[in-house]
Amino acid sequence: MMLVKNALPYSFVDQLQPHEFSHIESIANSFKFCKGEYIFQADQSDHSVYILLTGCVKITRISQLGNELIQWFCMPGDIFGISGENHLSNNIYAKALTETRVLKIKKNTFNQLLLDQPRIGLLVIEKLSSRIHVLGDMVLYMASDNANERFIKLLQHLSIKYGRPLSSGVYIDIPTTHQDFADMIGSCRQTVSGIISGLKREGVLSVSRKGINIYQPGKLMAQVQH
């Protein structure tokens, strides 16, 4: 079995049985991507499904105004390219944020896999349902919360899904910029920079291009009343 570095609990691969992952390896091809390289882009007619082995991938959509909207991040063990992410929609992108290695499976081969092994199909449905739930929450936050509340709830989501407990708090190993945060909460970079600066002064967190340190998770979440 190929090692999946730093796979998070409850990732797609983490839930596979050894023989299931071995079978997936046998029908897939392995590819490496450099930091900043696109795994697939809008209008790309590459009907494939991907499993992330190492690195971090950003899934984005481009609005009609040309703005980038980050939908989610993929971490080791995640599956993406399903549900038309790379061919049914003409404005979806998958970009490597670090050096990245993936397994790539032809869509028709993957469909046959789901027919042959229904348990894997159930895991895929579970993953899609989770993403739909997250996107629904994001829409709700956009409609009901101010920028500060949206940012804190975003950190809460990232912490639960991607965070790693440390003696000093929680570390989220996702390379992000202030503009990335702004894209995710529907705000402008200047507003997000102001929010981050305020939280830094309070000693709650620090943000760099390598990741996010949350030093006082309880204090951070207490700022959100609902």
Q: pLDDT tens across 20-51, in order?
A: 999 999 999 999 999 999 998 876 656 789 99
Q: Where are the domains of the chain?
A: 13-140, 145-221
Per-residue pLDDT tens digits for 77-106 = 999 987 554 444 557 889 998 899 999 999
Per-residue pLDDT tens digits for 140-188 = 666 667 888 888 888 888 887 788 888 778 888 888 888 888 888 878 8
pTM of the predicted model as reported, rounded to 2 decimal places = 0.74
Architecture, CATH, for domain 145-221: Orthogonal Bundle (1.10)
Question: How many whole angstroms separate alpha carbon 27 and alpha carbon 37?
Answer: 24
Percentage of residues of the chain with pLDDT beyond 70: 81
Nearest to 4 by CA among 74, 59, 58: 74
DSSP string, the chain: ----TTPPTT-TGGGS-HHHHHHHHHH-EEEEE-TT-EEE-TT----EEEEEEES-EEEEEE-TTS-EEEEEEE-TT-EESTTTTTTTSSSEEEEESSSEEEEEEEHHHHHHHHHH-HHHHHHHHHHHHHHHHHHHHHHHHHHH--HHHHHHHHHHHHHHHHEEEETTEEEE-----HHHHHHHHT--HHHHHHHHHHHHHTTSEEE-SS-EEES-HHHHHTT---
Question: How many whole angstroms separate alpha carbon 166 and alpha carbon 199?
Answer: 19
Nearest to 60 by CA among 91, 104, 99: 91
Pick the CATH number of 13-140 from 2.60.40.10, 3.40.50.10490, 2.60.120.10, 3.40.50.720: 2.60.120.10
Domains 13-140 and 145-221 share a fold: no
Tokens of 192: 């997000």
Cα separations in angstroms, 127 against 56, 82, 136, 144: 17, 10, 14, 26
